[in-house]
Amino acid sequence: MGKYILRRLLQQIPIMLGVSILVFSIIQLAPGDPLASYMQNPNMTIAQMEALKEAYGLNASPVQQYFSYMKNALKGEFGYSIQLKQPVSKLIAERLGATFFIAFGSLLISILIAIPVGVISATKQYSFIDYAGTIFALAGISIPIFFFAILMKKWFAIDLRWFPLSGFVSPGKNYVGINMIKDILNHSFLPLIVLGLAGAGSLMRYTRSSMLEVIRQDYVRTARAKGLKERVVIYKHALRNALIPVITLLGFTLPGLFSGAITTEIMFSLPGMGRLQYNAVLHRDYPIMMGTNLFLAIFTLIGNLLADISYAAVDPRIRLD
C-alpha cells in the first residue's frame, strides 16, 4: 500500500509538467495581456509601456517565459500578482481556508442528504419518497446556482433576515475563538446549503441507481435467507457494494468543488480561490492564473488518488500493488 502510494505520487510529476505546459499555453493564447488596462491611459508613452513589458518579462518568447516561470516555481516562488502587487503564494494561502471550508462543508451536506435519500428511493422504488427525491434531484441538477443563490438570499437574508447577505466574517468585529466559529458558520450557512443541495441531486440519483442494481443481486437474497434484519441487509450488505461506484464519482467531484464554487463565492462575496481566479482572468493576471490553476491541478490529482485508495478500502477485489 505504502509502495503503491509512493509510486502514484511519483507518477504525478510528469502529469503536473504536462498540465503546466497546457495551462501556460491556454493562458498565452487568450487575447489581451496583463498590461491591457494601461493602454487606455492617454498619458502612457510607448517607451513607458515597453519598460513595463520588460519589467514583467513579457517581451521574452512564450517558451522562455514558461521556462523562467517553472524555474522559479520549482524553487517555490510563484511570482507576484501584477494587479494586486502581492506574492501569489500569499494570496492563495489567504483564501485557502474559506475555500476548503466551503468545499468540504458542502460536500458533507451533499453526502448526508444524497446517500440516505438515494438508498430509501431505491429500496422503496416508486414510493412517495422516491418521487419526491427525483423531483428534488432534478431541481438540484437543473436550477442554475446563481439563480438558486439569489433566491436563498432573497428568502433567508432579506425577507427573514436569518442570515447575513454576504461575506465570510462580520467586518470590523474581529471575533476570536468560539465567536469567530459562530460568525463564520452564520455567514457560510447559505452558501453551504446552495452548493450542498446542488451537488446532492446527481449524487442521490447515482446512489439510487447503484443501489437498485445491488439489491437485486444474489448475495442480498443470501443475506435475507440468513435471517438478517432488513436494515442490516440494506445498510451493511447492499450499501457497501453500492458505494463502490459512488466513490469514483466523489473522486471526480472533489477538485470540481474547488473551482466550481466560483459562482457561489462571487454571489456571496466569499474570500475564496474562485473569486481570486475570476478576477485574475478578468485582468489577465498571468501569475495568479498559473498559480491557481496549478493548485487546482494538484487537487484534482490528489482527489483521484484518494478515490483510488478508498476504492481499494471498500472493495477487496481491488489490489493496489
Partner 1 sequence: MENLLEVKDLKTYFYTEDGVVPAVDGVDFELKPGQTLGIVGESGCGKSVTSLSILRLVPNPPGRIVEGEILFEGKDLVQATESEMQHIRGNDIAMIFQEPMTSLNPVFTIGKQIMEAIMLHQNLDKNAAREKCIEMLKLVGIPRAEQAIDEYPHQFSGGMRQRAMIAMALSCNPKLLIADEPTTALDVTIQAQIIELMKDLKDKLNTAIILITHDLGVVAEMCEHVIVMYAGKVVEEADILELYTDPKHPYTVGLMKSKPSLDDNRDRLEVIPGAVPNPLDMPEGCTFHPRCPHAMDICREKQPHLINNEEGRKVRCWLYEKEGEVK
Hey, what's the cell of 19?
498540465
Please choose, out of 87-95, 146-154, 169-177, 223-231, the segment that lies near partner 1 by the rule CB under 8 A: 223-231
Q: Which long-range contacts (CB under 8 A, 24 or more apart) does 208-211 make?
A: 208/118, 208/119, 208/121, 208/122, 208/130, 208/133, 209/122, 210/118, 210/242, 210/243, 210/244, 210/245, 210/246, 211/118, 211/119, 211/121, 211/122, 211/123, 211/238, 211/239, 211/242
What whole-number distance in Å separates Cα of residue 13 and Cα of residue 237?
39
Number of alpha carbons in the 13 Å side-chain half-sphere of residue 71: 6
Among 60, 157, 228, 249, binds partner 1 (CB under 8 A): 228
Q: Are the beta carbons of 234 and 119 closer than 8 angstroms?
A: yes
Site string for partner 1, 80-119 (x = CB under 8 A): ----------------------------------------
Counting contacts by CB under 8 A, is residue 7 touching partner 1? no
- Torsion angle of alpha carbons 95, 96, 102, 105, nearest 10°? -160
Among 224, 235, 302, 311, binds partner 1 (CB under 8 A): 224
Of 242 and 270, the one with the shorter C-beta distance to partner 1 is 242
Of 33 and 213, the one with the shorter C-beta distance to partner 1 is 213
Shortest approach of partner 1 to residue 219 CB, angstroms? 4
Shortest approach of partner 1 to residue 214 CB, angstroms? 10
Which among 237, 201, 194 is positioned nearest to 216, based on CA atoms? 237
Please choose, out of 92-100, 157-165, 233-241, 290-298, the segment that lies near partner 1 by the rule CB under 8 A: 233-241
Counting contacts by CB under 8 A, is residue 312 touching partner 1? no
Among 32, 139, 230, 252, binds partner 1 (CB under 8 A): 230
Shortest approach of partner 1 to residue 230 CB, angstroms? 8
Counting contacts by CB under 8 A, is residue 316 touching partner 1? yes
Shortest approach of partner 1 to residue 15 CB, angstroms? 30
Number of residues that bind partner 1 (CB under 8 A): 20
Counting contacts by CB under 8 A, is residue 227 touching partner 1? yes
What whole-number distance in Å separates Cα of residue 148 and Cα of residue 267?
10
Give residues in contact with partner 1 (CB under 8 A): 217-219, 221-230, 237, 240-241, 314-317
